[in-house]
Amino acid sequence: MTSADARRRCAIALGLFALACAGDAYGWGARGHRIVAAMAEARLDAPVEAEVKRLLAVSGAHELADVAAWADEVREEQPQSALAKATTKLHYINFADSTCRYDAARECRDGQCVVAAIDRYAAILGDRTRPDAERAEALRFLVHFVADAHQPLHAGYRSDRGGNLFQVQLDGKGTNLHSVWDFDVLATRKLGWRRYAAALQPPRRESARGTPRDWTEASCLLTRDGGVYPSSRKLDTRYLGAMQRIAEQRLQRAAIELAALLNLRLKTPPMPSSSGVQDDLVQDRGIAKTSPIRNMGGPHAEGDRNNDGRFDRPSGATGRCENQT
């Protein structure tokens, strides 16, 4: 192992520890991202799981849940780094209006949205000619972004920064809607993320459907029609219960889609045909092939494999996702 490799693995290991101490979170919060990762890993084909484990080892990680929230940790711990700046806008998509219809030129200019990010990182992950370090980073981003695409407040059309500017009251205390979705909606079960994932695991017969575009459009429609935005600014247990059911369905769907995407991109490459041309996996399931983004380096992964007790809202947590417009 070179000194550079040792430094990289040390930095990632520190990130794994730091996540347990982080106060703020984004998207689903680290808990929700771990739930998706754990459910997805349980659905991987055996050869794909082996390749995932091999790439995770490059990051000093052991399971997908270890790196599920890494993309948020990069933004929180290293906000001025080149990697954070290059990927900030890749966590979400802002739809133009309540029709929730995706137009790449309008909603994803220059590939700066979660839809394009998933396509790009999936292509990098599946390209076995690329260095393992680059593919391992792509895996870390992909695990995170697929979950983000299924979070309704990461795919809305309102001008409230994904609910961060939508002020509400919960238990007599002021907060914002994004924070409620980060922490409170999934806290109602009072399960640790590992037991939560086991309880939510969808049947094996459930199959993937659609593309990243479809996932975000469905999320957007939930912000319009699914009651995500409450009629009253004072939230009660009825709201949390209703949103818990929606959130759990989205977590399940994210896990199904993530597992299918990994099974597709990491399956054993087909043997060359008589013409010497291999099947192009990029065309499977209609996933568009786009130019890979430049590997910015600076790995800083994290995960908490032991946190399986009650979930307590971190002190001072805000649920920020303030990069959205």
Q: Of 120, 154, 300, 320, which residue is the catalytic one?
A: 154
| Joined tokens for residue 284 | 């499977």
The answer to whether 154 is a known catalytic residue is: yes
148 is catalytic: yes
Active-site choice (9, 91, 120, 140): 91
Q: Which residues pair with 234 in a beta bridge?
A: 169
Catalytic residue among 9, 34, 140, 148: 148
Is 150 considered catalytic here? no
Query: DSSP readout, 216-240?
Result: HHHHHHHHHHSS-S-SSSEE-HHHH
Let me know: does 79 contact 323? Beta carbons within 8 Å.
no
* Active-site option among 31, 135, 140, 144: 144
The one catalytic residue among 8, 178, 250, 320: 178
Backbone angles phi, psi at 174, to 5 degrees: -75, 140
CB 162 within 8 A of CB 156: yes
- Single out the catalytic residue among 72, 119, 184, 304: 72
The token duo for 6 is 């040792």
Give the H or E element holding residue 147: helix 132-149
Asked about 5 being catalytic, the answer comes back as no
Q: Which residue in 182, 184, 250, 265 is the catalytic one? A: 182
The residue annotated as part of the active site, out of 28, 70, 181, 215, is 28
Q: At residue 24, what are phi and psi to the nearest 5 degrees? A: -90, 155
**50 CB contacts (<8 Å, ≥6 apart)?**
none
Residue 208: name the closest of 118, 280, 268, 141 by CA: 118
CA distance 235 to 179: 13
The conformational region for residue 144 under phi > 0 = left, psi -120 to 50 = alpha, else beta, is alpha
8, 9, 75, 120: the active-site residue: 75
Task: For residue 33, indicate whether it is catalytic.
Answer: yes
d(CA 224, CA 200) in angstroms, rounded, equals 25
Q: Quote the CA–CA distance of 91 and 85 in Å, as a whole number.
A: 12
Query: Is residue 300 flagged as an active site residue?
Result: no
State the catalytic residue, choosing from 8, 9, 31, 33.
Answer: 33
For the question of residue 28 being annotated catalytic, the response is: yes
| Interatomic CA distance for residues 141 and 195, integer angstroms | 24
Residues with active-site annotation: 28, 33, 72, 75, 91, 144, 148, 154, 178, 182
